[in-house]
Structure 1
Amino acid sequence: MSSLVDLEEALAHLTRQVEEMSDVIARQDREIDRLTARVQMLMNREAEREADSSGTIPLADQKPPHW
């Protein structure tokens, strides 16, 4: 009978762990979605900024003055 109790305890422990992991994964998924949206917003903002520079070479692509 003791082994049945041991198995039930182990099952309860594993069930709790799975539920906790599921909560962590759900939080991470929400965070990934939030960060993905933020990166997209920043990429759009940068694309608009580059488009507004009207034909000038972006500062990052310009040669340093000593060249």
Structure 2
Amino acid sequence: MTMDERIEQRLIDLEIKLSYAEDTIDRLNEVVVRQQLQLQTLAREVARLRERVDDGSGAVLRSLREELPPHY
């Protein structure tokens, strides 16, 4: 294999690796975007629940013993 062939093969190998790396980065970015949306949704839900608790309109907190079925 000549020097030019080796260089060409190395370039091809690098291009293949770069292609895989770009694909991985794209997929990871999609995951990060989805997780950010989930975090925003959860933050809104927590804020809404805090408002309910602060307003006193939330469910009354009871102990687990009060939740046992009557036959216990």
| Structure 1: gaps (5+ residues) | none
Indicate which of 7, 11, 15 corresponds to 2:14: 11
Question: Larger RCO: Structure 1 or Structure 2 (Cα < 8 Å, ≥ 6 residues apart)?
Answer: 1
| Structure 2: gaps (5+ residues) | none
| 1:64 paired residue number | 67
| 1:26 paired residue number | 29
Indicate which of 14, 28, 42 corresponds to 1:39: 42
- Inter-partner Cα distance in structure 1 for 2:7 and 2:67: 75
Q: CA RMSD in A?
A: 2.5
CA radius of gyration, larger in: 2
Report the AA paired with residue 32 of structure 1. Q
TM-score scaled to structure 1, two decimals?
0.71
**Number of residue pairs the alignment of both structures matches:** 65
TM-score scaled to structure 2, two decimals?
0.67
- Inter-partner Cα distance in structure 2 for 1:57 and 1:21: 48
